[in-house]
Structure 1
Amino acid sequence: MGRFKCSLLFVDDEPALAQLARSLLSSDYELRVAETAEEAQLLLARHDVDIVISDQQLPGLQGIPFLEWCREHTPRTVRILMTGVYSMEEAVEAINSGLAQRFLFKPWRPEQLMNLVRNSARTFLLERSHENLLDELRRLNLELEERVAERTRELEHINRQLEQRNSMLQKMALTDSLTGLPNRRAMDRLAKTEVLRRARVTSPLAVGLVDADFFKDINTRYLLPGGDHVLAWLGGTLMNSVRTIDTVGRVGGEEFMIVAPETSMEGALILAERVRRTVEMSATEFNGDVIRITVSVGMVVAEPDTLVGLDQMRHAAAAALSEAKNTGRNRCVVKRLTMLDGPSAR
């Protein structure tokens, strides 16, 4: 790419916010600041910019028309709209029409801005690396053809590398916009890949479902902005509570899925309890209120010698989650699959 940092343009006519953005972002990103949309357009004409964050209320050209201009003139730039909480309708319309790809409610906290920029930069870099990854996959495929006669262990290792890179390519377009995590489609594909892989290398696999307890109360009290804030925070908390080889995704409303390769029954019990306890011991803040929630966890484990399919594991994990919620919530239910009595991976 020729650059090691993402470039970022922050557009806001409030000097205090611009200065705060500089202090938070300038060390990790190539940051430029503009006070008006017109000034930002001149900067975009002279410099390559990866991410644009624009306030809606600007002197002269407003934020949404400016982002529409960005979509026409710099379509590869990630567009983020900053707007007040009470301008939710404008933000939703901008997202639905494709003018903005993400939004940030004002007043925002430093960690909200940093997390949003970090997730946007990660998505941008993944998209920009698509072509390089494809070239790498072609090169590895040629190597595989030349090394057919080599040892099975080495061949399996290379196959695993290919699967990991294919998974990366799939995730590029399969991300939940609110949390920055993989969405349902991405998680289904990843889980199917792991089920098929374990049939070849005979390793254990755990699949879990995590559901926020009494989330309707959050939506009722804090409305959609507060509910979205809590979900985004919960997604980050779950991601920080699992291992690097595990994957967390948002698969619906307040429900998340965990895919944990090479995880035995003992490991699944430890993982599920760590996830539950981490959420219970953590908190977030919205509009001055400290918000704490709990989660229920249902997890199922397929041991190396057990023949199972993805549908069976998913249904068993859902049943375990229901048991956790029906027996008091804020608890874990982990079960072992011992036979194939559901459909195989499809």
Structure 2
Amino acid sequence: MNVTRYRCSVLAVDDDPAVLAILAAQLAADFEVVTACSAGQARAILAQRSVDIVVSDLSLPDESGLDLLDWVRRTVPRTARVLLTGTARMQDAVDAINHSQVHRLLLKPWRYEDLLQALRTISRGLMLERSHEQLLDELREQKLELEQRVHTRTLELEQALRELQHNNQLLEKMAATDWLTNLPNRRAIEEIVRNELDRRKRTPSPIGLLMIDADHFGQVNKDHSQAGGDKVLEWLAGIFLASVRASDSVGRVGGEEFLVVAPATDLAGAETLAERLRVNVEAAETAYNGRPIKMTLSLGVAVADAWTATTYKDLYDAAADGLKVAKHSGRNRAVVRVLAAPPVA
């Protein structure tokens, strides 16, 4: 694969020209930097050209930096978002993460090394995503080329069909696999759950769905960088795979959230599985750059017995409710929700 060398672009937004000048000087060696002194000017720039990363101050003259970054998220979702703020209010961090889904939150005055490391980490992620997409595009182009050869060059039909099958399998696997953990991604694990529910209609049996969230994962990224966070996610995936049965399936559905589907699993079995996952993670330890990292889990568990009709949404909503309670009640615990059949009239 030939990936074109690319220099990420950064749009810095701040109403203080001195701050913009500092940002431009600090980032010029690594990034293509453009600046804007207001949210309106930033919107105009983004309407005219693509930008890889937007770095915005929280306080802008025409609107909040959070509102600008939320607009960026909705309008150009592939653009990474970084918030700079001179205040350290917890609510700003909560709003930035939950509302605008920023990739980084940096406090003023920032350290040059922290700023550069954060943007370099984001840039590496963008480059990985871009190369991943480029590989998919190239494989799709190969697939189309092979299909043409099948029609036009019958003497090479057997070889062309073998290559086509190989590329199709590779595309299908890449489309269904989380690039970091090699677990099934959200689409794939949801398909597994629905297949189990279809099988259950033919052969009634209990089923469990576990929703897992790594506790305080944002602090891991803050303390060990995003690369350290990626190492932790890979480590957790390995523990999960070693803790479940061969009949269970584990998938990563986004960020630090995972799903486990456990066929033929009743209430006692689901509770045992959830506790084994929780204890195995709590008892283990990984390290990044020589620094130890320990984690705990919050789990929401949904269970339906063999005779309770249920859907994926029913299981997902019940597990999500259990996870919410687990997190709000102190984390490092599992909360179970049982889906019961309605009483017979």
TM-score, L = length of structure 2: 0.52
- Equivalent in the alignment of 1:343: none
Counterpart among 329, 334, 337 of residue 336 in structure 2? 334
- Equivalent in the alignment of 1:288: 290
Counterpart among 91, 98, 117 of residue 131 in structure 2? 98
Identity of aligned residues (%): 42
Decide whether the 8 Å contact of 2:121 with 2:226 is kept in 1.
no
CA 208–330 in structure 1, closer or farther in 2 if over 3 Å, else same: same
Decide whether the 8 Å contact of 1:296 with 1:329 is kept in 2.
yes
1:98 Cα deviation from its structure 2 partner? 2.0
- Equivalent in the alignment of 1:182: 184
Post-superposition Cα deviations, 1:201-245, rounded to whole Å, max 9, x if no partner, equal 001110010001111111111121111111111111111111111
- Cα RMSD for the two superposed structures: 3.0
1:91 Cα deviation from its structure 2 partner? 3.9
1:93 Cα deviation from its structure 2 partner? 4.9
Please identify the structure whose Cα radius of gyration is greater. 2
Larger mean Cα displacement after TM superposition, 93-102 or 208-217? 93-102
Decide whether the 8 Å contact of 1:170 with 1:186 is kept in 2.
no
The whole-number CA distance in structure 1 between the counterparts of 2:163 and 2:174 is: 10
Decide whether the 8 Å contact of 2:298 with 2:326 is kept in 1.
yes
1:312 Cα deviation from its structure 2 partner? 0.6
Supply the AA of the counterpart residue of 2:205.
S
Supply the AA of the counterpart residue of 1:316.
A
CA 172–223 in structure 1, closer or farther in 2 if over 3 Å, else same: closer
Supply the AA of the counterpart residue of 1:179.
T
Indicate the SS of the match to 1:305. coil
The whole-number CA distance in structure 1 between the counterparts of 2:246 and 2:305 is: 21
Residue correspondence of structure 1 range 202-217 to structure 2 within 5 A? 202-217=204-219
CA 264–188 in structure 1, closer or farther in 2 if over 3 Å, else same: same
Residue correspondence of structure 1 range 75-90 to structure 2 within 5 A? 88=121
Counterpart among 238, 252, 258 of residue 250 in structure 1? 252
Counterpart among 251, 263, 283 of residue 261 in structure 1? 263
Post-superposition Cα deviations, 1:61-109, rounded to whole Å, max 9, x if no partner, equal xxxxxxxxxxxxxxxxxxxxxxxx996466435423327999xxxxxxx
- Equivalent in the alignment of 1:319: 321
- Equivalent in the alignment of 1:237: 239
- Paired residues, what number? 199
Indicate the SS of the match to 2:300. strand
Question: Are 1:219 and 2:221 an aligned pair?
Answer: yes
- Equivalent in the alignment of 1:66: none
1:285 Cα deviation from its structure 2 partner? 0.6
Decide whether the 8 Å contact of 1:320 with 1:333 is kept in 2.
yes
Counterpart among 276, 281, 292 of residue 274 in structure 1? 276
Residue correspondence of structure 1 range 64-75 to structure 2 within 5 A? none
Supply the AA of the counterpart residue of 1:287.
N
The whole-number CA distance in structure 2 between the counterparts of 1:129 and 1:296 is: 45
The whole-number CA distance in structure 2 between the counterparts of 1:99 and 1:252 is: 17
Decide whether the 8 Å contact of 2:206 with 2:303 is kept in 1.
yes
Runs of 4+ in structure 1 over 6 Å off:
99-102
Structure 1 unmatched ranges of 5 or more = 1-84, 103-127, 135-165, 341-346
1:172 Cα deviation from its structure 2 partner? 5.5
The whole-number CA distance in structure 2 between the counterparts of 1:293 and 1:101 is: 35
Structure 2 unmatched ranges of 5 or more = 1-116, 136-161
